Structure 1
Amino acid sequence: MILTKSQVRAFYDRFGNMQDSQSFYEDAALDDLIAHADFGQAENIFELGCGTGRFASRLLTKHLSPSASYLGIDLSLSMINIAEQRISEFAGRAKVVQSDGSMSFPLHDHSVDRVICTYVLDLLSESDIQQAISEAHRVLIPGGKFCLVSLTYGETFVSRIVCAMWSTLFHIHGYLVGGCRPIRLNPLFGKLDWSIDYRNVVIQFGVPSEVLIADLKSAPN
């Protein structure tokens, strides 16, 4: 069951710092994303669903150019408060703001060279997923990269069992798994103006995550 935006906000307001406990299955996929997204060449970065700011802090500390700017948004005020503290040393070039839950990014057309979205599309409705992709298309410069990680379907015996259990809990009630369910990213980028630069499925502790980097080949009309 897809959670409503108010349900998502309420869940993650309560979840707070506990979100970082998910690092046991997320970090290997995030490592893979960093290894292939050329973040060191990026100058303007936008993150949809910044959460606690753990990934933003890692990028700002170790992987982004000192001249790079970062903007992150999140639906949860608790997450924004945590993220603000976490990236406070970069306040001159990095900020986070609370989202109203719409998929309208607070950016000008063709204004960023990286859009990041990790473990977020898997809690959105199909229409919101399509809108997020459309917005990434709008705000990226030609040659910019949409950098994604999501829960996905298992490709090994153990990961298929984990995925089946996760999906069962999701269908009982989305709250049991934070509103997230396995999805496939690759089929979402079939249009000619996207090219898949990199794709991989990373399995950590039996949890499968899809890593995908889509390049924008042309500016939107």
Structure 2
Amino acid sequence: MRNATGEWRTGATFLHHESVCADGEYCEEPGLNALIDLPESLKLTPARDTDQASLQALFRSARPHLEQVDLPPELALTLVQQQYRLQQVHYRERWPQHQVWLVERLHKVIGKMAIDESSSAIRLIDLVLFPEHRGQGVGATLIKALQAAAQAKNLPIELSVDRQNPRARALYLSLGFYTSRYSETQEDMKWHAGKRSPATSV
């Protein structure tokens, strides 16, 4: 982030990994967020239990088809809540150490990022912005910042994109991601600084 004088500064710690320091004791390596630079107007903050309403609203905003279900409002809300809980269970089972971050712009929640970091890759599990904040370059800014952090750690970024979301796919392609695998519903995509796309497996 830039400080008041316009200089770049780093944000709070994202994820830590223990390593052995010179004195033989365990210490923490810098987390991803220590390497992520964002404009001063954008901020990443850890999601807490008290943020569930915002997280569910973001989940719902990314699934307009749920709004089209012919159900009474209270049942439609129950359906959204059930789908959201299932997503969270899946995330915890597949990426037990993943972290969820709220994206704030001028102190207002406008989106979220869910990220998992391992020794072999950074996984962008989820990136969602409220509809009124899409198409303004925020997503690209977040991804570019993540790419810079991944490059500093010499790690690739992996993600999956819904094949019914051509807008997101086009954004990732424009930022240097390539498709590594297809399925009926998703494309697995990957980015690694300085490495060209290999032959795509279908």
Please give the TM-score of this superposition, normalised by the length of structure 2: 0.39
Please give the TM-score of this superposition, normalised by the length of structure 1: 0.37
Higher relative contact order (CA 8 A, sep 6+): 1
Rg larger in structure: 2
